[in-house]
Amino acid sequence: MEDLLLKELKKIIMSTRAQIRFATREDGVSFSEHPEKINAQFYVHSDGYPEGLGIDIALSIMYDGIGFKSEIEELHTKHGDLDYIYYVWQVSGKTTWISIFKTNTFSDEEEECTFVGEPQKLIDKYDR
């Protein structure tokens, strides 16, 4: 119960920054690793946690529309204060997949891939 309360409190008082990156699905490229090439990226200053932005991305893919505030960025832009990085994997004729990486801004630890799956699976996992 205490962990849930702390999690909810963090959502209210913190800006949870994130990037959304779009990558092409390619044979041999794992959804649980950062791709070498991305086609576009957006920056989201707040509410970047999976229960917020993750759900918004999944719904946007499923219902053909953007329902969140974001800024289009140059592909080379890097932020040092990100909490999450989302990848949207697409290619014509195949389903879209989403990967979520939890970043470790204040640590030397590797970024952790916390989710890989189709939009409905993301909603099932995070929409509580």
pLDDT tens digits for range 13-70: 567 899 999 999 988 889 999 998 899 999 988 888 999 899 989 988 888 766 666 7
Q: Which two tokens stand for residue 118?
A: 């189709």
Rounded alpha-carbon distances, angstroms, from residue 81 to 17, 19, 93, 112? 7, 10, 35, 15
How far is the C-alpha of 116 from the C-alpha of 31, rounded, in Å? 7
Each residue's pLDDT tens digit, 70-104:
777 888 887 878 899 999 999 999 999 999 999 87
pTM listed for this prediction: 0.78
At residue 62, the pLDDT reads: 86
At residue 107, the pLDDT reads: 59
For residue 5, pLDDT beyond 70 = no
Q: To the nearest whole percent, how much of the chain has pLDDT over 70?
A: 80
* Torsion angles phi and psi, residue 86, rounded to 5: -110, 140
At residue 77, the pLDDT reads: 83
Q: To the nearest whole percent, how much of the chain has pLDDT over 90?
A: 43
Radius of gyration of the chain from Cα atoms? Answer: 14
